[in-house]
Amino acid sequence: MRADRLVATLLLMQTRGRVTAAEVAAELEISVATARRDLEALSTAGVPVYPQPGRGGGWRLVGGARTDLSGLTAREAQALFLLAGPAAAAAPEVKSALRKLMGALPGTFRADASAAAEAVLVDQAGWGERVKERPPMVSLLRDAVIARRRVRLTYAGREKTERLVDPWGLVDKDDVWYLVAGTDKGRRTFRVDRIVEAAATGDAADRPADLELAKVWEEVVEEIEKRRSLLTADVVLGRRHFDVLRDRFGRHCELVAELPEDRVRARVAAPAPIMIAQELAGWGALVEVEGPESVRAELARLGAELVARYTP
């Protein structure tokens, strides 16, 4: 796991002072190209790791070989924990490495580093939609989560509203970003790309002491899944097209059975028949909907509308 390797690479540099990409690769049992990318990622994130060209060169952590991290600034420590934090929930070894790293930090940096490790959660299961670019508000909101400062934001939901929220954490759900926050009406989840304006205030955010972002996000996902999966439909299609179908429906698509002639039966879900039909209409004869009849009827209606409009 990449976050695990980044932490291991930094600890290796702490011990040796200077390393080459080949030495990192041999120590961590990865390719030289991967080791070089990891070293560049540490440098880009703001950790003071710099290459030294020429004979006897390599990569050096500014300040020389040390057994602690006293050479890191507060922002650099935050950058490192932001890189590794999202993996810690799924990998006990990363969590263990972060604890050791935390113990080596100066006491004044530990609170912000700990907050950075818990600021962002990665959920790789999409909801069938993609956002090509990371919303510009992510950096501002991330800093507010780490600093534990309230945020005043303008949100374009069904209507544009202004909210004062306590930011609890950010979730990267397959490139779609969400802010989980406390409000005067309880916990709320905001899509970051729908936040029009945001500004951190000087007021301290109210964040539950026992809050675990991963558990809170599980509750959010469960609530949304119940609303999104009120109706299911069974479809048959070529095996080579299944991954595309799953990408479109996200976690609302499951493989049910392997069929002869390299075909599969899959089950998709959405709140209403028209929503499934609209998604599948563009597939034409590549997909056969076995049921329910309500979805087949919607497909027939859509097809008739298209024929009526576009037949010469």
Alpha helices in the chain (DSSP H): 2-16, 21-28, 32-44, 74-88, 92-104, 107-117, 137-147, 213-228, 242-249, 273-281, 293-310
pLDDT in tens, 117-162: 555 555 555 555 555 566 778 878 888 887 888 999 898 877 788 8
Contact present, 251 and 127 (Cβ < 8 Å): yes
Q: How far is CA 255 from the centre of its chain?
A: 24
pLDDT-derived band at 54, boundaries 50, 70, 90? low
Kindly report the pTM of this predicted structure.
Answer: 0.46
- Residue 289: which H helix or E strand, with range? strand 287-291
- The pLDDT value recorded for residue 296 is 92
Mean residue pLDDT of the chain comes to: 76
Residue 105 has pLDDT above 80, yes or no: no
The residue among 223 and 100 whose pLDDT is bigger is 223
Q: Give the separation between CA 30 and CA 177, rounded to whole angstroms.
A: 31
Contact present, 250 and 174 (Cβ < 8 Å): yes
